Structure 1
Amino acid sequence: MVDTSRGEAPAPPADPAEEPRGCLFALSQPPLMIFLTVIGSLLLMAALHDLFLL
């Protein structure tokens, strides 16, 4: 079998006090929240337009 290891040392263990950042951290970023708010309001306006004006 061919040896595919690169001989590099493994990454040092993460600091136990520092938690990994996941999806909820990404969702809490202000630019993403502004983008989602704009998209949501456009969808809401389109739905209300369809319900009441068509």
Structure 2
Amino acid sequence: MQETSRGQAPAPAPERRGCLFALSQPPLMIFLGVIGCLLLAAAMHDLYLL
């Protein structure tokens, strides 16, 4: 436990960044978009051409 009786304020906690922050990054969204398009193309191929 921290000692705060000397008039010192406790240090602020570091800012947490969750999953929504990670998903907001453009390179990740581009990568996921490309993978999604490839999966969609493969599904359409299987459904309509095979």
Provide the TM-score with structure 1 as the length reference.
0.66
Structure 2: gaps spanning 5 or more residues: 1-10
* Partner of residue 12, structure 2: 13
State the superposition RMSD in angstroms: 1.5
- The amino acid of 2:12's aligned partner reads P
| Structure 1 segments (4+ residues) deviating >3 Å | none
Unaligned runs of 5+ in 1: 1-11
Aligned length: 40
Higher share in helix: 2
Percent identical pairs in the alignment equals 80
Letter in 2 for 1:13: P
TM superposition score normalised by structure 2: 0.71
Higher-RCO chain (CA-CA 8 Å, sequence separation at least 6): 2
